[in-house]
Amino acid sequence: MSARQPEGLTPAVIGLALIVVAIWGFNFVVIKVGVSGMPPLFLACLRFLLCVFPAIFFVPRPSISWGRLAAYGIFLGVGEFGLLFTAIKLGAPAGLASIALQAQAFFTAILAAVFLGETIRMRTWAGLALAATGLVLLMLPQARAAASLSPPLVGMLLLAGFFWASANLTAKAASGTGGQNSALGLVVWSSLFSPLPLLALSLVFEGTAAISASLRSITILTIGAILFLAVLSTLVGYGIWNALIMRYGASRIAPFSLLVPIFGLSSASVLLGERFTALDGVAAALVLGGLGVHLFWPLRKPVS
């Protein structure tokens, strides 16, 4: 029988979640920079290679089965980021990508209810519905503004969100097998299973010529992007994220990711010149309101 989940999310927990989503929001600008100088699947391969080495020599392997480690590495590294990097390389705007990927919050809540028996409270459904309205408002103007956007790109981004949700569930399941204090270990050791499949896919779909050319012409900016993706976005970001999911449950933590588009749109607007309109502001308020409903309503516990 699984341990009873803690009731409240403290300010410290909320603060950690906000730090992670801020890193992940800016991450989309970094990805845009990275894929401009390197094939996307090969970029993802290097990202997870740096997550493994040298960290694996210092971080103990968590008491999680190899099967779960492999599943997490495939879902996150190959599924989510292989698709995300490729979609951005093919023309998906960073802001739109940050929005569409947040379908994972909805996938996570539903999958956690189906496979882990987590309860989806009415306030969560209400918050997700409100946030979904905001996400739709954010997405439609972005889609019209992106001349190169196509249904396959949107499909790739949504599928990437589904793989992220699958990784969330794997992290939560690991918390019941001794992995509760091994969030960073889960990220590091699962990353063993990402580089080789990504390299194989890169060789097939991107080719040795493109890989060799990117390595010969690599710049400081590209190196910086790889380090940001490996250290801040993956080791720090997913280490904290997994720890929160393991302790508080996937359906309670996943909705924080709905704030990623706020940071993603803002940074893309400032640094990449992507649009941010008054309608985006209204939509962002709806996303924030949805998260607030999920976290804080009702403010008082019912009298027993």
Is residue 302 included in any domain, yes or no? no
User: 43, 226 in Cβ contact below 8 A?
Assistant: yes
Q: How far apart are CA 242 and CA 73, in angstroms?
A: 13
| pLDDT score at 299 | 54
Identify the three-state secondary structure at position 249: coil
List the single range of 97-111, 169-183, 224-238 with lowest mean pLDDT. Answer: 169-183
**Structural domains of the chain, count:** 1
The answer to pTM > 0.95 is no
pLDDT tier, 281 (very low <50, low <70, confident <90, very high otherwise)? confident
In terms of C-beta density within 10 A (0-12 exposed, 13-18 middle, 19 or more buried), how is residue 232 classed? middle
Longest dimension (CA), the chain: 68
User: 175, 247 in Cβ contact below 8 A?
Assistant: yes
Q: How far apart are CA 92 and CA 186, in angstroms?
A: 30
Is residue 103 included in any domain, yes or no? yes
Which span out of 65-69, 208-212, 255-259, 288-292 was modeled with the highest average pLDDT?
208-212
Tens-place pLDDT, residues 188-240: 999 999 999 999 999 999 999 999 999 999 999 999 999 999 999 999 998 89
In terms of C-beta density within 10 A (0-12 exposed, 13-18 middle, 19 or more buried), how is residue 274 classed? buried
In terms of C-beta density within 10 A (0-12 exposed, 13-18 middle, 19 or more buried), how is residue 79 classed? buried
Is residue 259 included in any domain, yes or no? yes
Identify the three-state secondary structure at position 148: coil
Is residue 6 included in any domain, yes or no? no
Higher pLDDT, 38 or 265: 38
- Tell me which residue range forms the domain holding 66: 11-296
Over pLDDT 90: what percentage of the chain?
Answer: 46
| pLDDT score at 51 | 95
Q: Helices marked H in 179-259 — which ranges?
A: 183-190, 195-205, 207-216, 220-227, 239-248, 250-253
Is residue 146 included in any domain, yes or no? yes
Token pair belonging to 107: 């996938």
Is residue 98 included in any domain, yes or no? yes
186-224 burial, b if ≥16 CB within 10 A, otherwise e? bbbbbbbbbbebbbebbeeebeeebbeebeeeeeeebee
Is residue 93 included in any domain, yes or no? yes
Task: Please report how the helices 40-52 and 183-190 are oriented relative to each other, as an axis angle in degrees rounded to 10.
Answer: 130
pLDDT tier, 6 (very low <50, low <70, confident <90, very high otherwise)? low
Is residue 244 included in any domain, yes or no? yes
- Which amino acid is it at 134? G
